[in-house]
Amino acid sequence: ADEAGSATQMRLAEARAKFKRMSDNDWRNDLAQQHARLEGLTMLDPTPAISLLRMRGEVSELAMAAGLTDVKFIEATSSSEFDVKRADTRGFSKLTTTFECNFDWAGLGALLDQIEGSPRAYLVEGIEVRNDGEKQRMRISLKALHRVAGSTS
């Protein structure tokens, strides 16, 4: 009986702690702020393809602001760039875009600064520098998170 009473008291204490935390306005405000930040970090559109188009536009602006020249987006060679598979149960999917440009160290540094300062959460998946004979070219792949508009997180 003592063991059952002790377990009951422990569950009651846990329930009271959860109730206290959920009743705390500061906790609810923090949760709302985190949710708003997540909203800003993700691409929120009806389809991943629309988000990918917006992503390319935003990335193009970041590259221009960084002073990169001859920026060209690489067309999707497979369906992996257009992550049109069903989003996971929370409505999220990954987007990837890749572009090439003329390479210079200052431009790369400025691009990384632009990405870091962007309100969107872009993940640099890879950077490749190669020599095409006359000049060096840089290929950069970025990822972002897409969430279906209207889905709950």
Kindly report, residue by residue over 3-36, the tens digit of the pLDDT: 777 889 899 999 888 888 777 788 778 888 887 7
Kindly report, residue by residue over 33-52, the tens digit of the pLDDT: 887 777 777 888 888 888 89
Specify the pLDDT at position 82: 47
Chain centroid to CA 47: 15
Q: How confident is the model at residue 81 (pLDDT cuts 50, 70, 90)?
A: very low
Chain centroid to CA 36: 14
Q: Cβ atoms within 10 A of the Cβ of 114, count?
A: 19
Q: Which 3 state secondary structure label does DSSP give 10? A: helix
Highest mean pLDDT among 20-24, 45-49, 136-140, 145-149: 136-140
Count of residues making up the chain? 153
